[in-house]
């Protein structure tokens, strides 16, 4: 391991390999985007056909569960790594951000602060809960996910009237604030237009199909978001201990744009999503073993919450692979 000037640990990797992994393409992003849009179209059609039937609840939950993965698209485009072509990247960022009430400037700068201050209490704007956690806070503030929706809705509405929230004011530089305000105003006008459309046709279908899916998908987003950092250490400048990498099935990897490789993404945030599996293989000997799936991550979180009742300082243990390899060599 090497240590960066700001005291963050960074995995050792061959420079030539890292350079190749940093290459951006258009076609990887277009393939992933096509798959997402196709699934969205299929589940949207099912939701529409289920209206006024008992199937509408599961159908709209499924539709929302796919819709909310627009956050994966927003995240990668906010990093500027989804596509090689900048205009394409920014266009997809604007549209996908609209789907989940995350304006490009707001998300980009708040998320940049998250990366530079990951899990540092009082400095990371994306910390929802601090250790020790309680079951009530975990369920209400994270799994239900309404807090995340409110955070971005409030921030977007505040920007639209040029009264940025505390996080927005702290994270968005003055030079970008005007653009952030214009983006928020464009989003708010579009949301109001959809509501007006519903009122004009005397049907809530436009709102149901174009605004509320983010609410229907909240539980899915809450679970996925929880797996990234919950139950992990805080106030330590080492992503191997504050962040969780998981092994998941190919379908979820596609929807999640490979963000299950979350340690790798935090250590090398400019490596595009499509190169994260290769990056994982390159540095796996320097990182903890991946958690097995979503349920494995939730089990780790549950154990942490339970243990923190009596041991407030407890966090999910993360044995480092290099240490285990060294011990095996000693035992031979």
Partners of 247 in the β-ladder: 292
The pLDDT tens digits of the residues spanning 273-287 come to 999 999 999 999 999
Pairing status of strand 9-10 against strand 2-3? antiparallel
- The confidence score (pLDDT) of residue 321 equals 61
Q: Is the pLDDT of residue 164 over 80?
A: yes
- The confidence score (pLDDT) of residue 328 equals 36
3-state secondary structure of 136: helix
> Taking the model in full, what pTM does it have?
0.92
d(CA 289, CA 304): 18
Per-residue pLDDT, averaged over 132-151, amounts to 93
- By C-alpha distance, which of 84, 85, 104 is closest to 94? 104
Q: Is the pLDDT of residue 329 over 60?
A: no
d(CA 144, CA 139): 6
Longest CA pairwise span in the chain (Å): 77
Name 287's Cβ contacts closer than 8 Å, sequence gap at least 6.
Answer: 11, 240, 245, 263, 264, 320, 321
Greater confidence (311 vs 321) lies with: 311
Range list of β-strands (E), the chain: 2-3, 9-10, 246-247, 291-292
Per-residue pLDDT, averaged over 157-163, amounts to 97
Per-residue pLDDT, averaged over 193-210, amounts to 96
3-state secondary structure of 230: coil
Q: Could you give the percent of the chain with pLDDT greater than 90?
A: 91
The pLDDT tens digits of the residues spanning 69-78 come to 999 999 999 9
Cα–Cα distances (Å) from 131 to 111, 232, 234, in that order, read 21, 9, 8
The pLDDT tens digits of the residues spanning 24-40 come to 999 999 999 999 999 99
The pLDDT tens digits of the residues spanning 206-235 come to 999 999 999 999 999 999 999 999 999 999
Partners of 292 in the β-ladder: 247
The pLDDT tens digits of the residues spanning 234-254 come to 999 999 999 999 999 999 999
Q: Tell me which DSSP letter residue 217 carries.
A: T
d(CA 265, CA 217): 24
Per-residue pLDDT, averaged over 176-202, amounts to 97
Planar angle of CA 206, 208, 212, nearest 5 degrees? 120
Q: For all residues of the chain together, what is the average pLDDT?
A: 93
- The confidence score (pLDDT) of residue 320 equals 84
Per-residue pLDDT, averaged over 145-172, amounts to 95
- The confidence score (pLDDT) of residue 310 equals 95
């Amino acid at each position: 391991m090497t240590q960066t000037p700001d005291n963050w640990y960074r995995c050792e990797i061959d420079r030539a390999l890292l350079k190749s992994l940093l290459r951006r393409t258009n076609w990887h992003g277009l393939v992933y985007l096509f798959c997402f849009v196709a699934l969205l179209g299929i589940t949207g059609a099912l939701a529409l056909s289920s209206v006024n039937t008992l199937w509408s609840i599961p159908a709209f939950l499924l539709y929302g569960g796919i819709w909310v993965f627009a956050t994966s698209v927003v995240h990668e485009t906010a990093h500027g790594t989804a596509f090689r072509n900048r205009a394409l990247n920014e266009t997809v960022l604007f549209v996908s951000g609209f789907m989940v009430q995350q304006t490009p400037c707001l998300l980009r700068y708040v998320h940049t602060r998250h990366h530079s201050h990951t899990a540092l209490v009082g400095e990371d704007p994306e910390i929802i809960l601090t250790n020790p956690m309680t079951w009530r806070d975990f369920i209400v503030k994270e799994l239900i996910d309404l807090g995340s929706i409110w955070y971005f809705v409030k921030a977007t509405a505040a920007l639209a009237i040029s009264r940025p929230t505390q996080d927005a004011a702290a994270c968005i530089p003055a030079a970008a604030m005007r653009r952030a305000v214009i983006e928020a105003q464009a989003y708010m006008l579009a949301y109001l237009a959809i509501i007006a459309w519903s009122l004009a046709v005397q049907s809530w279908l436009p709102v149901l199909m174009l605004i509320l899916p983010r609410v229907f998908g909240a539980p899915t987003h809450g679970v996925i978001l929880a797996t990234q950092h919950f139950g992990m250490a805080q106030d330590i400048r080492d992503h191997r201990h504050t962040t969780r990498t998981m092994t998941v099935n190919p379908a979820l990897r596609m929807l999640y744009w490979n963000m299950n490789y979350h340690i790798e993404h935090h250590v090398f945030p400019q490596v595009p999503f499509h190169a994260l599996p290769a990056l994982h293989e390159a540095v796996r000997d320097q990182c903890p073993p991946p958690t097995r799936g979503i349920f494995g991550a939730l089990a780790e979180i549950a154990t942490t919450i339970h243990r923190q009742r009596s041991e407030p300082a407890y966090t999910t243990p993360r044995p480092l692979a290099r240490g285990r390899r060294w011990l095996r060599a000693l035992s031979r």
